[in-house]
Structure formats: structure tokens, C-alpha cells
Amino acid sequence: MPTEQPLKYKRILLKISGEALAGQQKYGIESEMLKLFAEEVVNVRNLGVEVALVIGGGNIHRGVAGAIKGTDRATSDYMGMLATLINSLAMQDALEKLGLNTRVLSAIEVRGVAEPYIRRRAVRHLEKGRVIIFAAGTGNPYFTTDTGAALRANEIHAEVILKATKVDGIFTEDPVKNPNAQKFDQLTYIEVLNNKNIKVMDSTAISLCMDNNLDIVVFNLFKHGNIERVVRGEHIGTLVTNRQIH
Ligand code: UDP
């Protein structure tokens, strides 16, 4: 029997935007999307990979947009953070329906609904094979869930952030608008920060990863098996790293 290749990553943090959960409807949660993503998580869990998730809240509420309409920015951001909690509970339900053990850990205390985020507890859950979902971002206004993802990934010593998108990686331009856009295989954090056409993650999130040498793989979550490909070491999507370009 051929021997299995060792996995490249054993502990990952997967970041999914709120919009992805909305599917075609662009707002709210589409149950088909939840199921689709949950199945991808089950695949890698079954390989023994420890999985942490961060889900955005843009399908329900986006802080800056609310603030522009007249709500105080901080208040609007707290509404956004609570939106991520709703998405996290929906994802928890979808994962548990597929037989996984999960915990939602919230940066804002909502006793009775989710555990408060305690770093050591999060790591313990991972070691016990539970999928953890970090809700409420960083718990602070003026941040994003991408930054929350970068922060938590560093805290739990995840080996990589998998940033899910609906296209195949980072491109020279938006590939939906320009089909001739070229995909980058690998970029440095500085290249991402300096290129105004690249809006894959906000600069705070990218900087946090850069300062702590945490690789980011930007990939298409809508292609079945892609998370598994990444953890097995296949080069898909775009790798953002400080390592030498080969
Ligand atoms: N948010 C925040 N602090 C955080 C994380 C999120 O204030 O640490 C708020 C912010 O208003 C943001 C909203 O929650 O617009 C939803 O998060 P995000 O826009 O990152 O979601 P995504 O784009 O991934 O769906």
C-alpha cells in the first residue's frame, strides 16, 4: 500500500466572509452555503487537522456602512460583531449536524449562548478534536474579522490562515470584472500592502501576519476539496509569505 504523505498543516485557521454565507441572495444566510462549507471542514477534520474558524458578519451588518448612515461608528461596529456571532452559531449548527464537536468562543461575553474566549481553553478544545469558531472578532470596534482571524491564529499558533474567497486567489485585477487578470502564485506581505488593487485583507490583518511570519493562503472555497489540497501541501491559490519565492 502506498504510504500517505505527511500533512503540511496540522492546525489551521479558516476565515470565511459573511458574504460567502449569503450565497446568491447577498444578504442573510443560505443554508446550502453553510452545508457546503461545513462539508469541506469535515473533510479536513477527518484527516486529523485541527480547525479553527472565523466567520465575518458582512452578510448581516457592516460597521462602517451603518456609521455612514448616522449610527455612531463604535456602536455600529458592535452590531457587526454581534452579526458574526449569529453566523458562528449557524455554522456551529451545520458542523454539528455533520457529526463534529464544536465550540463557539466569543470575544464579547454572551453567557448562555457561547463560551467566552479564553486562549488556553481554545487550544485545549483543538487538542481534543473540537472545531472552534471564534465569534465577535477582536471584541473591539474599528477592527475587522480579518484582523480578528490574524490575532487568534497567532494566539493559538495556527500554522496558516486560509482566507476563503470566491475566486482562485489574488489577481492583478478583479478577475470577475476582467477575465484577463493574472493570478499571483506567491506574494510577500509588503507586495500585498503596497498594491492598491489588492483588497484581500485589511492592512492591520496583513501587518499582524507579516510581523509574526504567519503564512496566508488565499483560495477558492467554492471548489470542492480545496482546503484538503492546502493542508496536504498542494500549491493552490496565492500564498502570502515572507519566505523566498521559488
Ligand atoms: N467588527 C469590529 N471589530 C472586530 C471585528 C468585526 O468592529 O474585531 C465589526 C465591523 O463593523 C465589521 C463587522 O463587524 O464591519 C463585520 O465584520 P467584517 O466586515 O470583517 O465581516 P466580513 O467582511 O468578513 O463578512
Q: Where are the beta strands (DSSP E) in 2-129?
A: 11-16, 50-55, 102-106, 115-116
Confidence of residue 14 (pLDDT cuts 50, 70, 90): very high
CB neighbours of residue 16 within 10 Å: 24
- For the CA of 138, the nearest atom of ligand 1: 8
Q: Is the CB of 57 under 6 A from ligand 1?
A: yes
Q: Where are the beta strands (DSSP E) in the chain?
A: 11-16, 50-55, 102-106, 115-116, 131-135, 160-165, 186-187, 215-220, 238-240
106-157 confidence digits (pLDDT tens): 999 999 999 999 999 999 999 999 999 999 999 999 999 999 999 999 999 9
Residue 130 to residue 124: CA distance in whole angstroms: 9
**Closest residue by Cα to residue 32 from 17, 43, 18, 21:** 21
> What mean pLDDT, rounded, does the chain reach?
95
Are 43 and 31 within 8 A, CB to CB?
A: no
Residue 174 to residue 167: CA distance in whole angstroms: 9
Q: Is the CB of 135 under 6 A from ligand 1?
A: no
Assess if residue 234 is contained within a domain: yes
Distance 64 CA to ligand 1 centre (A): 9
Q: Is the CB of 169 under 6 A from ligand 1?
A: no
Assess if residue 47 is contained within a domain: yes
What share of the chain has pLDDT > 70, as a percent? 98
Are 4 and 43 within 8 A, CB to CB?
A: no
Helix axis angle, 119-127 relative to 145-155, nearest 10°?
70
Q: Is the CB of 81 under 6 A from ligand 1?
A: yes
Are 138 and 58 within 8 A, CB to CB?
A: no
Residue 51 to residue 41: CA distance in whole angstroms: 8
Q: Which three cell numbers stand for residue 10?
A: 496540522
Assess if residue 69 is contained within a domain: yes
Q: What is the pLDDT of residue 2?
A: 56
Are 218 and 191 within 8 A, CB to CB?
A: no
- For the CA of 136, the nearest atom of ligand 1: 5
174-210 confidence digits (pLDDT tens): 998 999 999 999 999 999 999 998 999 999 999 999 9
Task: Look up the domain containing 63 and give its range.
Answer: 11-241
Assess if residue 149 is contained within a domain: yes
Nearest CA to ligand 1 atom 19: 58
Q: Is the CB of 23 under 6 A from ligand 1?
A: no
Model confidence at 1: pLDDT above 80: no
Residue 190 to residue 129: CA distance in whole angstroms: 35
Assess if residue 2 is contained within a domain: no
Residue 221 to residue 30: CA distance in whole angstroms: 15
Q: Which residues contact 22 (CB under 8 A, 6 or more apart)?
A: 28, 29, 30, 33, 59
CB neighbours of residue 196 within 10 Å: 6
CATH assignment at residue 92: 3.40.1160.10
Higher pLDDT, 215 or 5: 215
Assess if residue 6 is contained within a domain: no
Assess if residue 199 is contained within a domain: yes
Assess if residue 131 is contained within a domain: yes
Residue 172 to residue 188: CA distance in whole angstroms: 14
Count of structural domains, the chain: 1
The runs of H, that is alpha helices, within 110-243 are 119-127, 145-155, 189-194, 203-211, 226-231
Q: Is the CB of 62 under 6 A from ligand 1?
A: yes
21-79 confidence digits (pLDDT tens): 999 988 999 999 999 999 999 999 999 999 999 999 999 998 888 888 899 999 999 99
Q: What is the pLDDT of residue 67?
A: 86
Residue 167 to residue 155: CA distance in whole angstroms: 28
Enumerate the β-bridge partners of residue 50. Answer: 11
